[in-house]
Amino acid sequence: MNSVNKPQLGQLVRIIRGNDSGKYAVIINVEDQRFVWIVDGDKRRFDQPKKKNILHLELLPTVSSEVVESMSDSGRVTNSKLRFVINKVVNQIQSEAQEKGE
C-alpha cells in the first residue's frame, strides 16, 4: 500500500459515493484500515464529523500541514480553516485542469 492509498490525518479527499458525492473534505481521524472521519467545515462541521468507508472516497495526494498542526496542538481545527484549506486545494485542482485543457 503506498501513501496515496493509505488515509492520513489532514489528507484531502473527494467523496465519490453518497449524498455528498463530488464534494471535498478533510480527514480528521483514521479509525482503522477501512473507516475514516471526515469534515468540510461547512455542511459537515468539526463537531459533527461523518464516518465514511474509504472505498467511498478518492484520496487526494494533498495533506494539509495546517490541519495536522492544529490537530496536534489543540486536538481540533476551526471550521473556517477547514473551508480555507479545501477551497485552496479545489482552486489549485481547477487551475491545473484548465491548463491541461480539460
What the chain holds in terms of domains, given with CATH numbers, is 11-100 (2.30.30.140)
CA–CA separation, 72 and 4 (whole Å): 21
pTM for the model stands at 0.89
pLDDT digits (tens, 9 = 90+) for 37-71: 999 999 999 999 999 999 999 999 999 999 999 99
Consecutive H or E run containing 51: strand 50-53
Closest of 55, 95, 18 to residue 40, by C-alpha: 18
Phi, psi of 96 (to 5 degrees): -65, -40
Residue 74 has pLDDT above 50, yes or no: yes
Give me the percent of the chain exceeding a pLDDT of 90: 83
Residue 12 has pLDDT above 50, yes or no: yes
Interior CA angle at 96 toward 92 and 98, to 5°? 115
